[in-house]
Structure 1
Amino acid sequence: MILLALGTIAAITAINILAINFNYGPSSSPVSLYEMTRIVRGLDVVQIPPKLIERGRAEQAPSSEGSAERVVSRLLAARLSLPERDVRVRLQSDRFRPQVIVDEARIYADEGAANPILLGGFTIYVRQADGAWQTHSRIVDYWQARSVRFWRYATYYLGIAIVLPLAMLFSARFNRPVKAFAVSAGRIGDGHYDRPVPVVGPTEIRQAAVALNDMQERIAHLVRERTALVGAIAHDLRTPLSNLRFRVANADAETRASAEAEIRHMEQLIGSTLDYVDGEGRPLITEPLDLGSLLQTLADDCRDRGANVSFNPARKITVRGDIVRLRRLFTNLIENAIKFGNRVDLAYNVEGKEVVVDFMDDGPGIAEDDLPRAFDPFFRGERSRNRSTGGIGLGLAIAESAARAHDGMIELRNVPGGFRARVRLPIGAPVVAVT
């Protein structure tokens, strides 16, 4: 990148030097009024060889048209000590700068120092004693004369035309690894530990990428160990629970009912914990799924249990995902809505590059202060600690883990008249819409 920057500076400098020092030859060299006087008198001029001046005679001389021509004619007549009517000048290609000549004559003429410069061609007519006009002409290609001025101004724009793409290339080469680094760091923040940061770019970015990958590997290792430990504990608890169930079988009815209720709660807790562990550690197995059919099946199951769940599929959308994870995701959200509301409405649609599934209920919702913590494992928004209403606190955590595994997300929001959970799944890799 340093070489690219130095090369850009060197290229612009070379262009400026060429444009400033480019010589178009003596035919377009500037000619002052003093040098025009020497041309008429037949004397040599430094930058204009005699062969470039055409001399001739004319029966008539055209009148000077512009103010610049009249000014140059008057000044030249004064230099030649001739009457103004006997000297006429026609300018070939300096018509684009007449005001400069007029201003110079107005400011310097009184001091006798006016000496305007002509860049293009011209013809000088000087009346002779016999009434004919002697001509002295320098014919210059109009566009060649203008090109001297054009290229010197065009250097600036040419420099921009060269620098701009090089600057964009420089910026892209520098920003691409930085952007990849930021995206990868964001994935780690979202809980994706299986996508290493590309080790590309400047030395500092590569060093940071290596350090981030090492940190990511350590975090993933700790998460796997924690998940395995929790899963092992939850699994091993099933055996003593089974033993307790046999031991209370012969107890009195009141003791047995209380103990069995506690055992059922612990089994529910263990089941939810194992579901959460399974979602964190289980690899994603994707296949094409009809989203409408999946939601319709879940809604029918809930209605069979007496829940008020409405769902009307609007269009067919095929989702490529893990059937176990998606079923668990949608089931947890539906059951969460049923638990706190009397009615649940399901709907889905495609928005841009995402499939959006809404779960609306008419329940009290979640306190705004608790929304940021709603996906934390074992967090319960219902603070009564009542097992029948508060739940275990893993439903949303399991759903969020499943959505994240599909590169999606869940949005929770209190809305007028209830609560809405919205699942977003990207259309890119895992989701395909079928029309």
Structure 2
Amino acid sequence: MKLGVPRGLPIFWQTLLLVLASLAASQLVTIAMFAVMDPPRPDFNRLGDVADALVGGRGERGQRERALLVRQAREAPAPGEGMTSDPAFTRRLAERVGQPVEQVRLYFEPDQRAAFGDDRRRHNHRLVPLRRGEPIFFNTVIAGIETADGWRVVKTPPRPLIAGWQKRMLLWFALSALALVPLAWWFARRLTRPIRSFADAAERMGRDPLAPQVAEEGPAELRQTAHALNLMQERIAAYVAERTAMIGAIAHDLRTPLARIAFRIEGAPDEVRDKVQADIEQMRAMIAATIGFVRGSTSSHEATDVDLGALIAGLAREEVDMGRPVTVGQIDPLRVRGDRLALARLFQNLIDNGVAYGGRVELSAVRDGRDAVVTIADHGPGLPDDQIERLFQPFERGDPSRNRETGGIGLGLTIARSIVQEHGGTLALRNRAGGGLEAVCHIPTRD
């Protein structure tokens, strides 16, 4: 059984549990440091430590922070800046090391004497002697005794940039952070994964109302939002299905009266019959295109791996075989996930538009990062920039007239963009620098 925060717990409680777990981990680190590490030595030296260092005993570096440094010198030590001496302390040190007071030197910072104890104590603004056994402490000290080889000198090293207690605090912060990183990473991943899935599903639904619904998982707030989104998707899908079914039914039912009209004008004069028959054929073409558009937007095909480069090259060969002015540029090996028939219809519509309005068409399919970029460029007059986006609206044409000799009924680009969006891509038209119009299609690749 996998332990952890229960699935579907609200974000508030998940965050609260994370905070409590963080506090617990921090306290465990603190307890472990107290149990394992030795307590820090005070940042000062006793008079006895100074005496031991002078005679070669304890007090050398490594026993405490700022341990006394020992060296040999030819001359007696001199006090540092701001340091002073006291005959009583010097005499006490001489007794400790067993040397005459004339052969002993002791200097210290004057504000250090009364920190923990002193050979004299202030009382009513008067310095009075301390008792004989009271300890004497120094923070910064220089001392020396004269020997046969010169002077043996001990001194306090400079204060480190980071004190011992500061190092322990930094260690505590570092260990606490290391203890919390896995917990925070797990919490962030657990919280963001359903949000990311929710965003991806919402994007799919924006492209296709018939896309799979959002998985209702994760925290309670996300599950409630996903449920509301799924209900909205069902309503939108039902609305779209109802409207498309109505349009398809109307377009289908119009075939019957058109057939009757065509039958009844057989006896009309030739001049009238030819004009009416042309109108009937145009209406039949519009109805067929509308039915095709409705069926294409409501049908769902199984996605497969499609060799996009081979598909573009095959369409180009078929166009050349039919004697149409289509040439091929760079074709890269590209694989996409989608419906092969729908993609073939997409590019065929773009090729037909390019040939109809631009005369000559050039095809290319190249890779741009993780996208396949297919370009269908013609050599026509182009279009004003403010009219390009209008062409993607249903029943809009580059030629404002309804002359069937100059093109279809204005659903080709609408169908093309719908197919691209169903495959997670984009389709845009733009004027070429050298003249003409080009359709640029971006579709995500498999690798």
Name the residue aligned to 1:420. Answer: 438
Structure 2 counterpart of 1:263, one-letter code? I
- CA contact 1:77–1:86 (8 Å) conserved in 2: no
1:64 CA displacement: 11
1:162 CA displacement: 3.2
Q: Aligned match of 1:214 in 182, 206, 231?
A: 231
- CA contact 1:371–1:412 (8 Å) conserved in 2: yes
- CA contact 2:90–2:104 (8 Å) conserved in 1: no
What are the within-5 Å matches in structure 2 for residues 16-35 of structure 1? 16=30, 19=33, 24=38, 29-30=41-42, 32-33=44-45, 35=46
Percent of counterpart pairs with the same letter? 35
Against the structure 1 CA distance between its residues 85 and 415, is the aligned structure 2 distance closer, same or farther, given a 3 Å change threshold? farther
Residue 9 (structure 1) aligned with residue 11 (structure 2): no
1:235 CA displacement: 1.9
How many residues are matched?
380
Distance 1:64 1:372 in 2: 95
Name the residue aligned to 2:421. Answer: 404
Structure 2 counterpart of 1:424, one-letter code? H
Q: Aligned match of 1:255 in 272, 277, 282?
A: 272
Distance 1:206 1:225 in 2: 28
Name the residue aligned to 1:92. Answer: none
Structure 2 counterpart of 1:5, one-letter code? V
Name the residue aligned to 1:348. Answer: 365
RMSD, aligned α-carbons:
4.5
- CA contact 2:217–2:223 (8 Å) conserved in 1: yes
Structure 2 counterpart of 1:116, one-letter code? F
- CA contact 2:191–2:218 (8 Å) conserved in 1: yes
Name the residue aligned to 1:172. Answer: 189
Deviation sequence 1:334-360 (CA, Å, 0-9, x none): 111122212111111233322221100
Against the structure 1 CA distance between its residues 199 and 169, is the aligned structure 2 distance closer, same or farther, given a 3 Å change threshold? same
1:266 CA displacement: 0.9
Q: Aligned match of 1:228 in 227, 245, 251?
A: 245
Against the structure 1 CA distance between its residues 175 and 293, is the aligned structure 2 distance closer, same or farther, given a 3 Å change threshold? closer
1:192 CA displacement: 4.3
- CA contact 1:187–1:193 (8 Å) conserved in 2: no
Structure 2 counterpart of 1:418, one-letter code? G
Structure 1 counterpart of 2:42, one-letter code? P
Distance 2:397 2:110 in 1: 87
Distance 2:78 2:24 in 1: 42
**What's the secondary structure of 1:421's corresponding residue?**
strand
Distance 1:77 1:126 in 2: 15
Residue 277 (structure 1) aligned with residue 294 (structure 2): yes
Distance 1:204 1:66 in 2: 79
Distance 2:372 2:410 in 1: 27
Name the residue aligned to 1:86. Answer: 104
Distance 1:234 1:168 in 2: 57
Q: Aligned match of 2:138 in 98, 112, 116?
A: 116
Deviation sequence 1:135-189 (CA, Å, 0-9, x none): xxxxxxxxxxx97663333222223333444333333333332232222222222
Residue 36 (structure 1) aligned with residue 47 (structure 2): yes
Moved more, 154-163 or 290-299: 290-299
Distance 2:342 2:436 in 1: 26
Distance 1:67 1:243 in 2: 126
Which of the pair is proportionally richer in helix?
Answer: 1
Distance 2:181 2:77 in 1: 43
Distance 1:62 1:394 in 2: 100
Distance 1:392 1:406 in 2: 25
- CA contact 1:412–1:422 (8 Å) conserved in 2: yes
Against the structure 1 CA distance between its residues 341 and 149, is the aligned structure 2 distance closer, same or farther, given a 3 Å change threshold? closer
Residue 245 (structure 1) aligned with residue 262 (structure 2): yes
Name the residue aligned to 2:6. Answer: none
- CA contact 1:74–1:84 (8 Å) conserved in 2: no
Q: TM-score normalized by structure 1?
A: 0.71
Distance 2:146 2:51 in 1: 12
1:194 CA displacement: 1.8
**What's the secondary structure of 2:415's corresponding residue?**
helix
- CA contact 1:360–1:420 (8 Å) conserved in 2: yes
**What's the secondary structure of 2:392's corresponding residue?**
coil
1:62 CA displacement: 5.7
Against the structure 1 CA distance between its residues 30 and 188, is the aligned structure 2 distance closer, same or farther, given a 3 Å change threshold? same
Distance 2:387 2:216 in 1: 39
